[in-house]
Structure 1
Amino acid sequence: MNPFLWLIDTLITLYIWILIASAILSWLIAFNVVNTRNPIVAGIGEFLYRVTEPALRPIRNLLPNLGGIDISPVILIILLLFLQRFIYWLYIQIAV
């Protein structure tokens, strides 16, 4: 496998896991399982927000109001998985 392709694949996979962690942390905060006054939790939450919000904000602007349900991480994960598969397909087409 091409090292550049491996790097892109790894970065996309890592970003998907960061999106999942951000969604889980937001649920834990919403249901008062974790306290944001804890500096460790606040630091992790701030990091996840700063990393994921620039990609999620345009999707949230396009979606209609669903009554407090945020499906933008799911849509972004689907788009990233599509991009990952498309890059593999393109690499195979060029290599052949």
Structure 2
Amino acid sequence: MIFLRQFIVLLFGALQFAILIRVLLTWFPNLDRSNPLVQLLSSVTDPILEPARRLIPPFGGLDISPILVLFALQLLESVLLRVLS
């Protein structure tokens, strides 16, 4: 049971970190989007961010879907850990 809890914490932490890095990379418009690391990051985060973008589309050049996803991931992690305890 401890292993499962640690795995959940690690998985959700990695997803949150990946989303945060993805957001930070948007601040660099000259970044090469064909870079394999950028593409890997996009392939990991896009399936999570796209549904949130459909719920709340970007407005005025501001995409708040990462905030929504980070909040949802934190909430889901908390619920899962509470169920396992």
| TM-score normalised to structure 2 length | 0.86
Please report how far the alpha carbon of residue 64 of structure 1 lies from its aligned counterpart in structure 2 after TM superposition: 4.0
Aligned to 1:9: 9
Secondary structure of 1:27's aligned partner: coil
Aligned equivalents of 2:3 and 2:58: distance in 1? 42
Where relative contact order (Cα < 8 A, 6+ residues apart) is larger, the structure is 2
Aligned to 1:82: 75
Structure 2 residue identity aligned to 1:80: L
Residue identity (%)? 28
How many residues align? The count is 85
Please report how far the alpha carbon of residue 48 of structure 1 lies from its aligned counterpart in structure 2 after TM superposition: 1.1
Alignment gaps of 5+ in structure 2: none
Query: What is the RMSD of the two structures over their aligned residues, measured on CA atoms?
Result: 1.8
| TM-score normalised to structure 1 length | 0.78
Q: Considering only CA atoms, is the larger Rg found in Structure 1 or Structure 2?
A: 1
